[in-house]
Amino acid sequence: MRTAERTPSLAVLPEMVRDASLLWLAGGIVGVSFGAIAVAGGLPVWVPVAMSLLVYAGSAQFSAVGVLLAGGGPLAATATGLLLNTRTAAYSLAVADILGNGRLARLAGAHLVTDETVAFALAQQDPLRRRTAFWVSGLGLFAAWNAGVLIGALAGGALGDTDAYGLDAAFPAVLVALTLPSLREDAGVRRSALLGAAVAVAVTMTPGVPAGVPVLLALAGLVLYRRGAAA
């Protein structure tokens, strides 16, 4: 049984690696931006590197570093990061059944839960492919992100204004590509996505809202999906 379960995973591995490569590339590029911003703002190299290894939460890391660079203390930065990362609780429920049953697998899997890995996994058609997609995309993205952060941190201010490169558009573009199949096939998903997008845009246009909060509030779109499922 164990061999039969592993064989399909190995068979689809090249396909998963090919499909996830764009995700890894985007993660590495944005990681370079994060590392460069943190160090150029005055933080030592070890701070963004350690944060990326231990916290591993893109938008939360950007926001936490923003708080630190603005003069806020570690507690304020931590609170900001925790607030923005509460959305991953819903993501974890969505992929809980594909992480595996062992404690180590669940612990490692929880660390790899991100917007991108969950979207990549749920875009697959069956449980085995979902599990393979999650681990392939998650481990690769973790490696690419941390390598990018290290490169950016070592480069420091040499990259100049990273906003000028439009690096922040890389992840949204990948997410849109990953969710298009579900949007085409499921009317409930489309309704939820439209509501979530409307909420996110409205909040984004509100002055003073920290980065990442619009994504968190966009989870309101799940209300429509739950109602459609119940009906």
Residue pair 65/36 in contact (Cβ under 8 Å)? The answer is no
Q: Is residue 218 assigned to a domain?
A: no
Q: Is residue 189 assigned to a domain?
A: no
Q: What is the pLDDT of residue 223?
A: 67
Most confident of 61-75, 93-107, 140-154, 195-209: 140-154
- pTM here is 0.68
Q: Is residue 50 assigned to a domain?
A: yes
Q: Is residue 19 assigned to a domain?
A: yes
Q: Is residue 126 assigned to a domain?
A: yes
Q: Which domain holds residue 89?
A: 2-163
State residue 71 phi and psi, 5-degree precision: 105, 0
Q: How far is CA 31 from CA 13, 28, 192, 215, in A?
A: 25, 5, 29, 19
Task: Count CA atoms within 13 Å of residue 17 on its CB side.
Answer: 6
Top-confidence residue, 165 or 220: 220
Q: For 5-26, write each residue's pLDDT tens digit.
A: 444 556 778 888 888 888 898 8
Q: Is residue 127 assigned to a domain?
A: yes
Q: Is residue 153 assigned to a domain?
A: yes
Residue of 74, 135, 70 whose CA lies nearest to 99: 135
Report the domain count for the chain.
1
Q: Is residue 212 assigned to a domain?
A: no
The percent of the chain in helix, strand and coil, each rounded to the nearest 5, is 85, 0, 15
Q: What is the mean pLDDT of residues 159-173?
A: 59
